[in-house]
Amino acid sequence: MGFKCGIVGLPNVGKSTLFNALTQTAAAQAANYPFCTIEPNVGEVAVPDPRLDVLARVGKSAQIIPTRLTFVDIAGLVRGASKGEGLGNQFLSHIREVDAVAYVLRCFEDGDVTHVENRIDPFADAETVETELMLADLDSLERRVTAAEKKAKQGDKEAKIQADIMAAALILLREGKPARFTKISEEQRPVFQQLGLLTAKPVVYVANVDEGSAATGNAHSKRVEERAKAEGAAFVVISAKIESEIAQLASAERDDFLSTLGLEEPGLNRLIRAGYSLLHLITFFTIGPKEARAWTIHKGDRAPQAAGAIHTDFEKGFIRAETIAYDDYVANNGEAGARDAGKLRLEGKEYVVQDGDVMHFRFNT
């Protein structure tokens, strides 16, 4: 089960520096964690989760395998991309393929790094990126809505739902608002997602600050934070330059370096977790002597779907899930202790998996 977060922004905002830091960090972990660079602009990184190390220690697991998130470094966008300017068409096709979008915004002053529009204004940068995506969505919907409305008038119920959603999204886009603010019901959600709108994707704003502002942010990043709060979007402060330096340090040196900067953890960890949360993902664990492993599912998924994340046969032949909450597993020193304490539960097909569950599946082949 793969999930992709696209990294977008104007040229020279630190987007690729950030992506390179992500992949360097992952490469440094390759001895312990699975990692691959699928293409030069695509990399998979481990999702930081201290619980996995604890569970591996309690379960005496020989190997640790974290869950992963894919980041895609999408070519720098310029004004006019929706009309094919720069790498416009390529940019738009790549962004359609991701599940969430990280807007990297320049929040640092540096005379040696030229801004494409000769100004440092992260708010305006965000507007430029979003406007191009909205224009592309507007063009896409206006070309499709007439056909949907025609089918709806002929009695096609699905086309009626689609036409209603398109109309609602078009109102927002014509007002200069992204499609993700469209009010839809749970019944309409699958149809809405099928429209493939660029501005319907969830967003995390990444304020790329100078080294001195990595711990506290600065005036520029504060403006971005306010925008994120107003929209209900995710927000992360990062110094891409610092993250590049951290990625090249040995783990023993890394903590000392972070401490001198007033940071408890790398900003990349916060970004990875923000992307994970943005996609409404949760983690469950399987623990054994061979490996302690984290698995990704959607929040709200039931036990058979979690089993299917491991193997499709597990979902098809699902019988039950032996389940222990993370805290109970640790407090009782593993599965045997949790079983003796009455903390191991047998859950059926309707059980909604909780973040942190330690699970063992019974199934028929």
Flag the least confident range among 41-50, 56-65, 89-98, 287-296.
Answer: 89-98
pLDDT the model gives residue 285: 98
C-beta neighbour count of 252 within 10 angstroms: 7
Distance of alpha carbon 243 from alpha carbon 312, whole angstroms: 38
Q: Decide the pairing of beta strands 68-73 and 345-347.
A: unpaired
pLDDT the model gives residue 116: 55
pLDDT the model gives residue 355: 96
The average pLDDT across 15-38 equals 59
Alpha carbon dihedral 33, 279, 200, 156, in 10-degree steps, equals 110
- R_g over Cα of the chain: 23
pLDDT of 31 above 80: no
Q: Which residue has the higher pLDDT, 37 or 22?
A: 22
Distance of alpha carbon 77 from alpha carbon 208, whole angstroms: 17
Integer angstrom CA distances of residue 277 from 5, 32, 151, 222, 352 = 11, 24, 38, 22, 18
pLDDT the model gives residue 120: 81
Distance of alpha carbon 247 from alpha carbon 259, whole angstroms: 15
pLDDT the model gives residue 284: 98
303-332: pLDDT as tens digits:
999 999 999 999 999 999 999 999 999 999
pLDDT the model gives residue 88: 45
Q: Which residue has the higher pLDDT, 339 or 31?
A: 339
165-183: pLDDT as tens digits:
999 999 999 999 999 999 9
pLDDT the model gives residue 297: 94
